[in-house]
Chains A and B, each alone.
Chain A
Amino acid sequence: MNYILILGATSDMAYATAREFAQRGWGLLLAARNEKQLAVLKNDLQTRYNVPVHTLVFEAADFGSHADFYSRLPHQPEVTALFFGYLGEQEKAQADWEEAKRIIDANYTGAVSILNLVANDYEQKKKGCIIGVSSVAGERGRKSNYLYGSAKAGLTAYLSGLRNRLTAAGVHVVTVKPGFVATRMTEHLKLPKPLTASPEQVGKAIFKAYIKKTNVLWVLPVWQLIMQNIRMIPEAVFKKMNL
């Protein structure tokens, strides 16, 4: 049986992705910090798909625990998908280092810490697939969310480098750029409907990207166009824009 390790399994996108894999008979290793919610998800997914589901406690910012966590997995996962992330509050983070650090750790440092271990393992085994959820916010820093954006920019560059390194070993890396998604993270925001995907759409797109070995997944293709245009705006103009 194939297993997928899902990091940040309590995210709406992660749940939708878990369903896509479980529906096709994959076993699930669900890792997250909210144990109670993990138990709810486990019941649900087992009931729906009758596949083995294991739950594991995982804190992205507890770097020291990662090696132990990874070495003790009950099954070797063929696929590792990373969903955890934290939007945080930009203004607060400008003044409060703790908030800034939370953002950086949840979106970048924590990802590097765990994915380094996964990458080394997969490289040695000469197989495996790593899926990382980054964000279009990482394409260009904007005053409204550059802390989150810069951490995601770091993650995007990291995943790109990882792909470059692991291709030789036959290990594939997918970078996911979802655009806006209607999840818990964005519930308090007013998102434009045509630019917003549902978590279910993301789950389906991720499974397809895994099968097709897509490198960079733009869940809604319109976002690729938007970001191309945003990147082309000269800095002299961009810096004066209200974004």
Chain B
Amino acid sequence: MKKTIANWGQYPCLEADELHFREEEEIAEIIGKSASLIARGRGRCYGDASLGETVVSTTRFNKFISFDRDRGILDCQAGVSLEEVLKLVVPAGWFLPVTPGTKFITVGGAVASDVHGKNHHKEGSFCKWVLDFSLMNSKGEQVLCSREHNAELFETSCGGMGLTGIITRVRFQLKAIETAYIKQTQLKAANLKEVFQLFEQYRDVTYTVAWIDCLQSGDSLGRSILMLGEHAQAEELPRKLQQAPLQLSDKLKLSVPFNFPSFTLNSYSIKAFNFAYYHKLRKQQQSSIASYDSFFYPLDFVHHWNRMYGPKGFVQYQFVLPLHNSYEGLTTILQRISKKGMGSFLAVLKLFGPQEQGLISFPMEGYTLALDFPVCDGLFPFLDELDELVHELGGRIYLSKDARMKSSMFFRGYPGAVDFIRSLESFDPDHKFVSLQRKRLAIPA
């Protein structure tokens, strides 16, 4: 039975068969009888990476296998969501080693996109923390992959966008915490130069991210707020919270001055958007204690915010530029975007450190910027122009957010693509695992 499916950007939308499984045998069966298929977690990638003729949902394959509370090692089926992981591990004094800006993704999706967080410059991407995983290959065999066993398949699957098979279980290392809270500091930056200086100055802080006001130009181009965060120690919490530092209290309303959701969302309807919050931050620097939820997942408080862009959907444009080109590059690109007036009013800027694994993992040392564009006439040609700039600067586009880039952009941006394809040919010669994205990017299928 065909069903209409779209991922987070609501673009593209297609009619596809959606199959679920609860037991390993069922996956093998599905692989056996489908001409081609692609794994899909919670569909939080924005574009077409987890769409295809036959979509195999992992969401009912969501059971925990074991949790070593002493060593912080979690073993679970790939359909378990990060939300469920946090519910289990935080009260025991552990946290995700790396987390994206939403907790509504699956562990399998975290591996397949090799997701990054606000700590990439210090702690790398998700797969760095993966000890091993099992993958169901095109023959319906379960293969254990780690840095020791089937190392090539491990490497190809980390950030491999589901093209090597269906990851069924993942064992990964968690990070020890004393409390469920983050000590956050917000700093104002008058322009891009300032925010770059601040990123440099605070390079040792675990979590850093900046929100850029895209409507500024001239001397204020890149005006932004930088957020810094560290896991709070028990003694840094207010008295009341110290009694149960690992429990999030619903009752206690903490000061979360940066009320991100309503602030951004309303802004879309306002033409003359002024960066209200920037001015609200009276002091140059402001510190507070925030729950991990409000620090990492402000957008998760607004369900279905993605639908506000209307029926045509939107794309998120996320690119990374090498460190040495980042400043000039971002200046040029921000100017282009602000002149075009098509994008969202806010963009998110993060710093990546060196990237250790994955043949087509997104991160590289440098700065990454992400912003939303509602789908409209003229958008794709404009993004193609931006792609050219990104390419000239030596950068690339994040596959997990992509719904439209041209094949050439992929091959030029990912030097590992050739090895990736060679590897795919040996692991999946029959091209079983095919997404719309794979076809669009002309990764032989």
- Whether B63 and A184, one on each chain, are in contact in the complex, defined by CB atoms closer than 8 angstroms, is no
Given known contacts A48-B88, A189-B1, A190-B1, A184 and B22 CB-to-CB distance under 8 angstroms: yes
CA–CA, A40 to B65, complex, Å?
7
Give chain A residues whose Cβ lies under 8 Å from the Cβ of B20. Answer: 184, 187
- Whether A188 and B63, one on each chain, are in contact in the complex, defined by CB atoms closer than 8 angstroms, is no
CA–CA, A175 to B3, complex, Å?
32
- B26 to A, closest residue via Cβ: A184
- A188 to B, closest residue via Cβ: B1
In the complex, which of the residues A12, A36, A48, A190 contacts B60, with contact meaning CB atoms closer than 8 Å?
Answer: A12
For chain A, the count of residues having a C-beta within 8 Å of the partner chain is: 15
Give chain B residues whose Cβ lies under 8 Å from the Cβ of A37. Answer: 22-23
CA–CA, A63 to B67, complex, Å?
39
- Whether A41 and B1, one on each chain, are in contact in the complex, defined by CB atoms closer than 8 angstroms, is no
- A41 to B, closest residue via Cβ: B63
- Whether B65 and A47, one on each chain, are in contact in the complex, defined by CB atoms closer than 8 angstroms, is yes
Most buried by A among B23, B63, B65, B67: B63
B129 contacts chain A at the CB level, 8 A cutoff: no
CA–CA, A36 to B24, complex, Å?
10
B414 contacts chain A at the CB level, 8 A cutoff: no
Interface residues of A in 27-85 (CB under 8 A from B): 36-37, 40-41, 43-44, 47-48
- A199 to B, closest residue via Cβ: B60
Give chain A residues whose Cβ lies under 8 Å from the Cβ of B332. Answer: none
Interface residues of A in 161-188 (CB under 8 A from B): 184, 187-188
Most buried by B among A36, A41, A48: A48
A55 CB to nearest B CB, Å: 14
Give chain A residues whose Cβ lies under 8 Å from the Cβ of B64. Answer: 43-44, 47-48
CA–CA, A187 to B66, complex, Å?
29
- Whether B88 and A36, one on each chain, are in contact in the complex, defined by CB atoms closer than 8 angstroms, is no
- Whether B66 and A43, one on each chain, are in contact in the complex, defined by CB atoms closer than 8 angstroms, is yes
- Whether A36 and B23, one on each chain, are in contact in the complex, defined by CB atoms closer than 8 angstroms, is yes
Give chain A residues whose Cβ lies under 8 Å from the Cβ of B22. Answer: 10, 37, 184
B117 CB to nearest A CB, Å: 24
- A189 to B, closest residue via Cβ: B1
Interface residues as binary, B195-223 with A (CB distance below 8 Å gives 1, 0 otherwise): 00000000000000000000000000000
Listed by A's residue number, 9 A-B pairs whose Cβ atoms lie within 8 Å are A37-B23, A43-B65, A44-B63, A48-B64, A48-B88, A184-B60, A187-B20, A188-B1, A190-B1
The 6 A-B pairs with the shortest beta carbon distances in the complex, nearest first, are: A44-B63, A47-B64, A44-B64, A47-B67, A40-B63, A190-B1
Question: Which A residues are closer than 8 A to B by beta carbons?
Answer: 10, 12, 36-37, 40-41, 43-44, 47-48, 184, 187-190
Question: Which B residues are closer than 8 A to A by beta carbons?
Answer: 1, 3, 19-20, 22-23, 60, 63-67, 88
